[in-house]
A = this chain, B = another copy of it.
Amino acid sequence: MKTLLLKKDEVRRLIRMTEVIGAVEEAYKAFSSDQVEQPDYIGIHLPSLRGEIDFKLGYYKVNEIISMKAHSGGFTNNPAEHGVPNSMGTILLFDARNCALICIMDGSLITGLRTGASGAVSVKALARKSARTIASIGSGNQARMQIRAINEIMKIEEIHAWSRTPETLSKYKADIEREFGIPVIAASSKKEAVEQADIVITTTRGKGELVEADWVKPGTHIVAIGTDQRGKQELDPELFRNAKVVVDSIAQCAEKGETWHPLNKNIIAKDDIHGEIGEVLLGWKPGREGDDEITIFDSTGMAIQDNTTASKIYQNAIANNVGTFFQFFE
């Protein structure tokens, strides 16, 4: 049995953002059409200044691939004390026809890439075609990744960015302007950024710096990325009252996504959720139905996104003879 090993640099070179967007669209459609098994993830929370490690398992019945992603994060002392990043990942791919281990790849990049792509998929499906201006609430890695992905599918004219930390914000502005040539306006408040925007993206840690309902103009599309666990929150739950709410997974978002908050406050009921993005992509449910609608996409992240993205990387590696084969047994 031969297992293909792929290093981080190889993974980086093996996939383009447009391919990740395609893989994530495929994942959403597969999930909403019952082509996927994704058990609840399991993990370990480490004590004292360390973070956590999670294991996410997904089976995609169409391509017959089982993926397992090990992903750690929050180890703030890692760079200084251990000489390794504070977040690392590894993905195993198994051929579901026989459960042979066909690939082990570094998985540090994939979570960021497929989460970035998820925002772009929602913009394609839900934002106004005339949208040009983005508000970026948050200015970390995922804020950059969202721009990288959305930039592939629309013309971004300007970005109004906000961060709690001025230094992070000026670094974000410099990076985005250099990499994409998109002008970034550093907003002095979240309100100022949101009021300007056709598309609002939230990628904060979700510790309560809420985007208020009053600030959001009609026709805005909101990409809610930062909330994937209870205890995190980025949006005023009142925003959900009159918005079209689309989620990656109803089960997950109602349980621990941004959507949990308005459900918990009885601002909306579960039936008020418009649907899953996969249903919209499949044409089973309408996307945006008017220029004045406020649309919200709640992304909590799913193993099947890792599965289809990593499978694409694996296919590209095989096609281009990239990687190192290792035989764990004869």
Q: Interface on A for B, CB 8 Å cutoff? A: 1, 5, 7-9, 37, 39-44, 46, 50-51, 53, 55, 57, 59, 66, 68, 70, 72, 75, 78, 81-82, 84, 88, 90, 92, 94, 96-101, 104-106, 108, 324, 326-330
Contact = CB atoms under 8 A, between A and B. Distances in A.
A69 to B, nearest CB: 11
Instruction: State the oligomeric state as a number of copies.
Output: 2
27 contacts: A1-B84, A5-B326, A7-B329, A8-B328, A8-B329, A8-B330, A39-B44, A42-B42, A42-B55, A43-B57, A44-B59, A44-B66, A44-B96, A46-B96, A46-B99, A53-B99, A68-B68, A70-B92, A70-B94, A70-B101, A72-B99, A75-B98, A82-B97, A84-B100, A88-B99, A90-B92, A92-B92
Contacts of A327: 7
B329 A326 contact: no
A70 to B, nearest CB: 6
A73 to B, nearest CB: 8
A68 B105 CA distance: 16
Nearest to A95: B82
A72 B99 CA distance: 6
